[in-house]
């Protein structure tokens, strides 16, 4: 009897309508260190939407069929570290996802001091506030508890922020600029797939994985 | 001659007390700017600054949020020093026992405030930041009270027996309590970043009372460029703060009206009550402007400062009214009164 193999869940996330306007960051231009890196003020980029509605920076993850967190499946300690960089006095990427126990390296690629301050809301994830000099060593963070959109900020440059989602399993991905995602090697079974955007909200769908890839698409609409 | 020297000395003591109170007010502004610029954690260590002795931290490194936090710490050190000098001066030169202990209280409170600020940083505790903000304004009230008690004005007031009706004094105390509660609410809002939870004024999301259903919260977050997620709790907090402002306005208007009727329009306390009302009106305007300016740092800080002035004005009004109304043998026999009588007899 053939044994069912793990399969991928693939799909596309799109945004329908006109996304809300972004804010212009004027404050960055007043900073002697940061302003010199820009010819014009950058904007926020909460909504990464392509010309055909491709919606990036959406966090796709799996829960069980009843909508509960899948826990105890983390392979984080075996994974290469994720990297969060500070470049142009902005965090890059703005949306990141890691597993519990996986290292997150925070790097300072700027020639000015930043302080790296994570603000977890889940007990068990530790809040830290560390200075990081130009050309300084990478700072290493690990989180032990699942948490969605754990905020990283810089208190020296208050416009800098990033959000890291932490999962206790490897079944997640973030949609790219073309809106596409792939959740790899999902064991056969019934699940709830969750699409979460920091501003646009959360959607869920039921999905069943057998022994071939499954396609699930999401569409977010302007409110 | 000794008495004249003592009178001059105490006049200088009063001047120093006033200078200390003004310095404290400026420190409140510096602290307000720290929170308004979200720079409270921009210097991650304390009492050092990025490993440097605080007083040796190079000016070239005072960039971004570090500028606000570090200058706040330096100014706080200056206020701490002034408070210490003031406490020692009062202990040595003021004959009133209660006044000596008031100076000690100011010294202890400024130390506590400094430690609170430091602990907020080393423990990364935002709640301590809220306590630090509230204690700072309480300390300001204490410093202004000391300035009042060291003044010749206070000698005159405590020598007069122009009674302020008890009902009016109680209403003023109620208004002060409301303002203090409003201060705690405001500090909590700033700590929670709830100032931008409602982007419009006087309506709230276009309504008298905003929709705080989960669907509405999702909609608000979708449209907001605030990096912090808006929650129903934050919206309700701001609405309670707005209602608190209305309650304070009604209360202080009533106080001013009662003072006018019961004390007469020429009475300084009646005029002072209307000054208080003007401050409250200005504070409401600044609160609205803070929202409409998308929480501009200078406007939000001005709102903090006028709030502090509102609190201290009510407190001083209350102290003066009790000074006029309450018979106190200690007040009548204290040295200032004796010196004043002596100087008057000499002339």
Nearest to B65 among A33, A155, A161 (CB): A155
pLDDT in tens, B212-244: 999 999 999 999 988 999 999 999 999 999 999
**DSSP state for residue A36 in the 8-state scheme:** T
Q: Would the CB atoms of B41 and A128 count as touching at under 8 Å?
A: no
Residue A138 C-alpha from the chain's centroid: 19
Do A199 and B224 count as a contact with CB atoms less than 8 A apart?
A: yes
From the list B64, B124, B229, which residue is nearest A31 (CB)?
B64
- Whether the CB of A44 is below 8 Å from some CB of chain B: the reply is yes
Provide ipTM, 2 decimals.
0.90
Domain architecture of chain A: domains with CATH:
1-70+177-223 (2.60.40.10), 74-170 (2.60.40.420)
DSSP annotation of B252 reads H
Taking the CA of residue B64 and the nearest CA in chain A, the distance in Å comes to 5
How far separated are the first and last CA of chain A, in Å rounded? 50
Nearest neighbour of A155 by CB, restricted to B38, B63, B228: B38
User: Do B66 and A113 lie within an 8 Å CB cutoff?
Assistant: yes
| Cα–Cα distance, B248 to A65 (Å, whole number) | 53
Taking the Cβ of residue A134 and every Cβ of chain B, the question of whether any pair is shorter than 8 Å is answered with: no
Interchain contact, B38 vs A129, CB within 8 Å? no
**Residue range B57-100, pLDDT digits in tens:** 999 999 999 999 999 999 999 999 999 999 999 999 999 999 99
Residues B238, B194: contact at Cβ < 8 Å? yes
B225:A117 CB<8 A: no
What is the token pair recorded at B23?
């310095």
CB within 8 Å: B44 and A130: yes
Q: Using CB atoms, which residue from A33, A200, A201 is nearest to B63?
A: A33
Q: CA angle A106-B226-B286, nearest 5°?
A: 130
Query: In A110-175, which ranges are E strands?
Result: 114-119, 128-132, 139-141, 147-153, 161-167, 172-174
Chain A residues touching residue B45 (CB < 8 angstroms): 131
CB nearest to B225's CB, from A22, A33, A151: A22
Computed from CA positions of residues B302, B307, B310, B311, in that sequence, does the dihedral angle turn out positive or negative?
negative
Q: Which residues contact A174 (CB under 8 A, 6 or more apart)?
A: A56, A57, A58, A59, A60, A95, A96, A97, A181
Scanning A47-86 for CB atoms below 8 A from B yields none
One pLDDT digit (tens) per residue for chain A, 223 residues:
445 578 999 999 999 999 999 999 999 999 989 999 999 999 999 999 999 999 999 999 999 999 999 999 999 999 999 999 999 999 999 999 999 999 999 999 999 999 999 999 999 999 999 999 998 999 999 999 999 999 999 999 999 999 999 999 999 999 999 999 999 999 999 999 999 999 999 999 999 999 899 999 999 999 7
Asked if B103 contacts A72 with a C-beta cutoff of 8 angstroms, the reply is: no
Cβ distance B311 to B304 under 8 Å?
no
Using CB atoms and an 8 Å cut-off, which of residues 179-218 of chain A contact chain B? 198-201
User: Helix, strand, coil proportions of chain A in percent (round to 5)?
Assistant: 5, 45, 50
- Give the contacts of B221 (CB within 8 A, at least 6 positions apart): A199, A201, B229, B230
In B, which residues are within 8 Å of A156 by CB distance? 39, 42, 63-66
Kindly give, in sequence order, each residue whose CB lies less than 8 Å from that of residue A39, ignoring residues fewer than 6 positions away.
Answer: none
Cα distance from A141 to chain B (closest Cα, Å)?
A: 16
pTM of the model: 0.90
What is the residue-wise DSSP string for B208-227? SS---SHHHHHHHHHH---S
Kindly determine whether residue B44 and residue A22, on different chains, have CB atoms separated by under 8 Å.
Answer: no
CB atoms within 10 A of CB B131: 19
Contact call for B64 and A20, based on CB within 8 A: no
Tokens of A79: 């994974």
d(CA B7, CA B312): 27
């Amino acid at each position: 009897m053939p044994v069912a193999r793990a399969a991928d869940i693939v799909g596309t996330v799109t945004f329908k309508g006109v996304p809300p306007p972004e804010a212009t960051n004027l404050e960055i231009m007043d900073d002697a260190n940061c302003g010199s890196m820009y010819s014009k003020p950058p904007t926020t980029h909460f909504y990464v939407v392509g010309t055909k509605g491709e919606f990036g920076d959406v966090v796709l993850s799996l829960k069980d069929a009843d909508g509960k967190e899948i826990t105890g499946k983390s392979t984080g300690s075996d994974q290469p570290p994720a990297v969060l960089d500070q470049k142009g006095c902005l965090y890059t990427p703005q949306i990141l996802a890691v597993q519990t126990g996986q290292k997150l390296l925070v790097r300072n690629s700027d020639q000015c001091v930043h302080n790296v301050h994570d603000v977890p809301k889940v007990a068990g994830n530790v809040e830290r506030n560390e200075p990081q000099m130009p050309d300084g060593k990478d700072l290493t963070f690990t989180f032990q508890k699942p948490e969605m959109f754990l905020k990283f900020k810089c208190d020296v440059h208050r416009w800098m922020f990033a959000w890291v989602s932490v999962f206790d399993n490897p079944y997640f991905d973030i949609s790219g600029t073309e809106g596409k995602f792939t959740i790899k090697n999902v064991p056969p079974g019934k699940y709830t797939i969750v699409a979460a955007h920091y501003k646009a909200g959360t959607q869920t769908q039921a999905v069943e994985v057998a022994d071939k890839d499954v396609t699930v698409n999401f569409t977010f609409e302007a409110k | 001659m000794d008495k004249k020297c003592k009178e001059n000395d105490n006049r200088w003591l009063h001047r120093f007390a006033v200078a200390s109170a003004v310095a404290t007010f400026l420190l409140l502004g510096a602290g307000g700017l720290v929170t308004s610029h979200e720079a409270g954690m921009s210097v991650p260590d304390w009492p050092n600054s990025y490993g440097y002795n605080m007083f040796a931290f190079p000016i070239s490194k005072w960039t971004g949020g570090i500028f606000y936090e570090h200058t706040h710490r330096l100014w706080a050190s200056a206020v701490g020093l002034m408070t210490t000098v003031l406490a020692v001066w009062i202990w040595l030169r003021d004959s009133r026992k209660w006044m000596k202990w008031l100076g000690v209280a100011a010294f202890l409170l400024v130390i506590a405030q400094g430690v609170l600020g430091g602990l907020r940083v080393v423990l990364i505790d935002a709640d301590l930041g809220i306590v630090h903000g509230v204690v700072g304004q309480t300390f300001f009230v204490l410093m202004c009270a000391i300035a009042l008690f060291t003044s010749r004005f206070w000698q005159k007031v405590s020598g007069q027996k122009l009674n302020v009706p008890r009902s009016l004094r109680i209403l003023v105390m109620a208004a002060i309590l409301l303002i203090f509660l409003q201060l705690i609410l405001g500090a909590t809002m700033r700590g929670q970043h709830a100032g931008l939870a409602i982007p419009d004024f006087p309506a709230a999301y276009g309504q008298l009372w905003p929709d705080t259903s989960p669907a509405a919260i999702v909609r608000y977050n979708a449209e907001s460029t605030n990096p912090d997620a808006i929650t129903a709790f934050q919206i309700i907090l701001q609405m309670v703060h707005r209602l608190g402002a209305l309650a304070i306005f009604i209360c202080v208007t009533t106080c001013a009206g009662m003072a006018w009727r019961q004390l007469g329009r020429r009475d300084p306390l009646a005029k002072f009550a209307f000054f208080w009302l003007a401050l409250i009106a200005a504070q409401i305007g600044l609160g609205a402007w803070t929202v409409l300016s998308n929480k501009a740092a200078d406007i939000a800080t001005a709102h903090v400062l006028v709030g502090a002035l509102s609190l201290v004005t009510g407190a001083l009004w209350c102290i003066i009214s009790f000074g006029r109304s309450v018979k106190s043998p200690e007040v009548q026999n204290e040295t200032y009164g004796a010196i004043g009588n002596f100087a008057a007899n000499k002339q």
